[in-house]
Amino acid sequence: MRGLRRWWDDTAGGLPATFWYLWSGLLINRAGAFALLFLSLYLTAARGAPPSLAGLVVGAYGIGGAAGTLLGGVLADRWGRRATLLAAHLVAAGLMATLAFSTHLAVIAALATLVGVAHSMPSPAFVAAIVDVVPEARRSRAFNLQFWAFNLGMAVASLLAGVLAEASFTALFLVDAGATLAAAVVIALKVPETLGRRPALTPRAAVGRRPGLHTALTDRTFLAFVGLTFLLAVLTMQTSTIMPLAMRADGLRPSAYGLVVALGGALIVAGQLFVPRLIEPYRKSTVLAVSTGLMALGFGTLTVADGLPLYLGAAVVWTAGQMLAAPPNAQINADLAPPELRARYQSVFYLTFPAASFVAPALGGLSLEHLGERHWLVVGALGLLAAAGHLLAGPPRESRVAALRAAAAEPVRSAR
Location of each CATH 1.20.1250.20 domain in the chain? 17-138+169-193, 212-416
Residues 6 or more apart whose Cβ sits within 8 Å of residue 261:
239, 240
pLDDT at 39: 76
Q: How far apart are CA 149 and CA 147, in angstroms?
A: 6
Phi-psi region of 160 (alpha: psi -120 to 50; beta: other; left: phi over 0): alpha
- Alpha carbon 86 to its chain centroid, in Å, reads 19
Q: How far apart are CA 111 and CA 98, in angstroms?
A: 8
pLDDT at 400: 85
Q: How far apart are CA 147 and CA 267, in angstroms?
A: 13
pLDDT at 371: 84
pLDDT at 339: 81
CATH of domain 17-138+169-193: 1.20.1250.20
pLDDT at 159: 67
**Considering the entire predicted model, what is its pTM?**
0.76
pLDDT at 357: 75
Fold classification of 212-416 (topology level)? Growth Hormone; Chain: A; (1.20.1250)
Rounded to 5°, the CA angle 85-226-355 comes to 70
Q: Which of 234, 22, 281, 286 is nearest to 133 (CA)?
A: 22
- Alpha carbon 414 to its chain centroid, in Å, reads 39
pLDDT at 322: 92
pLDDT at 11: 59
- Alpha carbon 284 to its chain centroid, in Å, reads 18
| C-alpha distance from residue 296 to each of 22, 282, 324, 375 (Å) | 33, 20, 14, 12
Which three-class secondary structure string do you get for the chain? Answer: CHHHHHHHHHHHCCCCHHHHHHHHHHHHHHHHCCHHHHHHHHHHHCCCCCHHHHHHHHHHHHHHHHHHHHHHHHHHHHCCHHHHHHHHHHHHHHHHHHHHCCCCHHHHHHHHHHHHHHHHCHHHHHHHHHHHHCCHHHHHHHHHHHHHHHHHHHHHHHHHHHHHHHHCHHHHHHHHHHHHHHHHHHHHHHCCCCCCCCCCCCHHHHCCCCCCHHHHHCCHHHHHHHHHHHHHHHHHHHHHHCHHHHHHHCCCCHHHHHHHHHHHHHHHHHHHHHHHHHHCCCCHHHHHHHHHHHHHHHHHHCCCCCCHHHHHHHHHHHHHHHHHHHHHHHHHHHHHCCHHHHHHHHHHHHCHHHHHHHHHHHHHHHHHHHHHHHHHHHHHHHHHHHHHHHHHHHHHHHHHHHHHHHHHHHHHHHHC
Per-residue pLDDT tens listing for the chain (416 residues): 555 555 555 555 678 999 999 999 888 887 766 666 677 767 877 888 887 677 778 778 878 888 898 899 999 988 999 999 999 999 999 999 999 898 888 899 899 899 989 988 998 999 899 989 998 888 888 888 888 888 788 777 766 766 776 778 888 889 889 999 999 999 999 999 998 755 444 434 443 444 677 888 888 889 999 999 999 998 988 887 788 778 878 888 767 777 887 788 888 888 888 888 888 888 999 999 999 999 999 999 999 888 889 999 999 999 999 999 988 888 888 888 888 888 888 888 888 887 887 787 778 878 887 888 888 999 999 999 999 999 999 888 888 888 877 776 655 455 55
